[in-house]
Amino acid sequence: MIKSHEALYYGDYLQLSKLLDAQLLKSGVDGPPAHDEMLFIIVHQTYELWFKQILWEMDGVFRILNNKVVEEKALGRAVAHLERIVSIQRVLTQQIDVLETMTPLDFLDFRDYLVPASGFQSAQWRLMENRLGMRIRDRHAYTTSSYTSRFSESDKDLVEATEKEPNLFDLVQSWLERTPFIQFGLFDFWEAYRVAVDKMLKSDEILIRRNPTLTAEETDAQIGNLKKTSAHFAALFDKQRYAELLENGQMRISHRALQAALLIHLYRDEPILHLPFRLLQVLGDIDENFTTWRSRHAQMVKRMIGTKIGTGGSSGHEYLQKVAENNKVFGDLINMSTFFIPRSELPALPEEVATQLGFYWRPDK
């Protein structure tokens, strides 16, 4: 039932008097305003509104995944929240097209008024990164100072507090580690997978050596590449070597979570694994979309200011491009295809396991 209330006016509901009065052009303080400063402000204010919505969707995902048991219908809502973030990210990238209607000379009309303000001071951007799971050790630094050094004290406290809180990476990893089907009855997924990998690699070697179109040098080169691939797989089946990969930062996801992610990807056609597969896919999409946005932003900055330093004191385009290449959270999920094997090589599931993967399985009460 709709509760009775006073008639609501559109402008009051959206607080338009505040919203539309929030564009204060610095270039207009001492004379005629620079025309394109209005565009610059509105685009960046819009970014911050979308950042707020992304954080809101993340909170919804956190409430779902931060439980010992995640029901299927709840997992569906988590995927919906994450897919909405992906849609928002597309808008964020498209907004660069609007901003690029401003030419470099147009930007120079008001650029000096912005110093030392910059995107480095977007607290919500850093909140998004931290809530996703960005670690300090993984950040590409542009100075020896902390990444929060340019913030006000209140923003600094807000952002740094999230470094100590659970993040999406941790929650997803914990969820993966609870996957029940890695060892189920007499079925040992990891052992069956290892046997299938060995068979695939031996088959690949035979195909290379028997290929009549390859020269001796080409054969040696392909065998060399196959040995590198074999070494990647070998690290998966040696816990000590995998621990070393975690220690030196080559991998981040735990060994148990990696096993579960591979199970989900390889057997994604099983009904109960559809939603988990979509969840892993959309996490990779989110990481990739932020990389795309950072790269587009870096190219726009290069176009606008060339090799000049940014208003925040960084190396401008050079710094932003390195951030695009390095600041990732779910790289292990994106690189998971390294360890995929063809469907034709997948170990057949025992009938009992296939039945349970058809939504018959229930957690023990």
pLDDT in tens, the chain (365 residues): 567 778 899 999 999 999 999 999 999 888 899 999 999 999 999 999 999 999 999 999 999 999 989 988 899 999 999 999 999 999 999 999 999 999 999 999 999 999 888 888 999 999 999 999 999 888 877 667 788 888 999 999 999 999 999 999 999 999 999 988 888 777 899 999 999 999 999 999 999 999 999 999 999 999 999 999 999 899 999 999 999 999 999 999 999 999 999 999 999 998 989 999 999 999 999 999 999 998 998 888 888 887 665 555 445 567 677 766 777 899 999 999 989 999 888 888 888 888 877 766 556 65
What is the rounded CA–CA span in Å between residue 34 and residue 111?
10
Question: pTM of the prediction?
Answer: 0.89
What is the rounded CA–CA span in Å between residue 116 and residue 138?
25
CATH code of domain 29-360: 1.20.58.480
Q: Which residues of 243-271 are buried (b: 16+ CB within 10 A; e: fewer)?
A: eebeeeeebbbbbebbbbbbbbbbbeebe
User: What is residue 116's three-state secondary structure?
Assistant: coil
What is the rounded CA–CA span in Å between residue 286 and residue 294?
12
User: What is the total residue count of the chain?
Assistant: 365
Domain-by-domain residue ranges, the chain?
A: 29-360
Burial tier of 201 (Cβ tally within 10 Å: 0-12, 13-18, 19+): middle
* Whole-Å CA distances, 269 to 74, 82, 91, 197: 20, 21, 31, 20
Q: Are 116 and 289 in contact (CB under 8 A)?
A: no
- 114: number of Cβ within 10 Å: 16
Pairing of strands 187-188, 183-184: antiparallel
Tokens representing residue 220 in the block: 């040696």
